[in-house]
Structure formats: C-alpha cells, structure tokens
Amino acid sequence: MPTVPSPGDLAHRPHRPLTARLVQTGAAVPPPPPLPPVQPERPVLDPGAPFLARYEAAIRFSGLSPSVRLVALVLALRANWATGVTGPAYRVGYGWLAAATGLAAVRVRENLHVLGQHGFLRRVPAERSDQPSVIELLIPPTPGPGARP
C-alpha cells in the first residue's frame, strides 16, 4: 500500500544523476518574444476621478518613504472624499494619527511636515483657538520627488 511521502523520506530516496539541459550544453537559447508595452487604461491622475482616488494615486507614485505615505493615506480616510478637507469635527491630531498608524507622535509630526513640504497638505488655522486646525489635502502639480513618468 503506497504511503504519502514526507520531507524526511527525501534522504532515503535513491539518487538520480542530473540530466543535461539545453542551458547546460551551451546551446543558444532563443530570446522570449517582446512584451507589449504596458499602458494603463486610465491615466494615473485621471481628472474625472474623485479627489480621494487622485490623491491616493499621487501618494502611491510620489516616491516618498513608506511611513510618510502611510500617514498620508490614513489621513485621507478622515478627509472629505470629494474635497480632501478634514473639518474640525473630525479631530485629527498627532495622537490619533499615532494610534492609527502605529508610529510615534514625533514621527507623525515629522511625516506631516514632509507632506507639507512636498505640497500634499496644507494646514488652515481654526477660526477659534479651542478648535484644532483644519488640514486640507492637496495634489501638487508634479506628484512628488521620485515620481515616475
């Protein structure tokens, strides 16, 4: 009755000599046929898409570090999907972003500063001093420092 082999049975199997392959004999290997150029069905930053979809695509292709992209995408979850504005009612702060991303609050502050430098967000001061500032998400004219064409 045949049994199902286990990895421990490999050492007990008879040794079989290796057979020569086409690559080992030195014969020329024909090159693979060329692939058709990859073109997206829609442009990366489709002007007809909702703001959040365009913002997400700009962040993905920005070339920013992973922790900066993480903060940007988590912040986008709290923003208005059509306008990209986080209102004072959402209470997005360093502590909330730190808890949502798993990063330290100091690191979140640095990442928000990097996003502001590259034109992905702008802080709008609150109307009253007891309210948090409003964060407006933006898409810069060029998607970022390491953007691919």
**pLDDT for 114-126, tens place per residue?**
999 999 998 887 7
Range of the domain at 84: 51-137
pLDDT of residue 67: 94
112 three-class SS: helix
Alpha-carbon distance of 99 to 121, in angstroms, equals 20
Looking at the structure of the chain, the number of domains it has is 1
pLDDT of residue 61: 85
DSSP 123: E
24 found inside a domain: no
Q: Is pLDDT larger for residue 114 or for residue 135?
A: 114
Higher-pLDDT residue of 1, 57: 57
Q: What is the CATH number of the domain that holds 68?
A: 1.10.10.10
Please provide the distance, in angstroms rounded to a whole number, between the alpha carbons at the two ends of the chain.
Answer: 62
Nearest one of 5, 10, 100, 120 to 59, comparing CA atoms: 120
The answer to the question of residue 14 being in a domain is no
Please give the model's pTM, rounded to 2 decimal places: 0.62
pLDDT tens-digit readout, 22-74:
545 555 667 777 777 665 555 555 667 788 888 888 898 888 999 999 999 99
Strand partners, 90: none
Q: What is the pLDDT of residue 29?
A: 66
Cα separation, 33 vs 79, in Å, equals 46
Cβ partners under 8 Å of residue 119, min gap 6 = 138, 140, 141
| β-pairing verdict for 134-137 and 85-86 | antiparallel
Task: Report the amino acid identity of residue 111.
Answer: N
Asked, for residue 3, whether it belongs to a domain, the answer is no
- pLDDT, position 149: 41
In a domain, 31, yes or no: no
pLDDT in tens, 64-114: 999 999 999 998 888 887 778 887 666 677 888 899 999 999 999 999 999
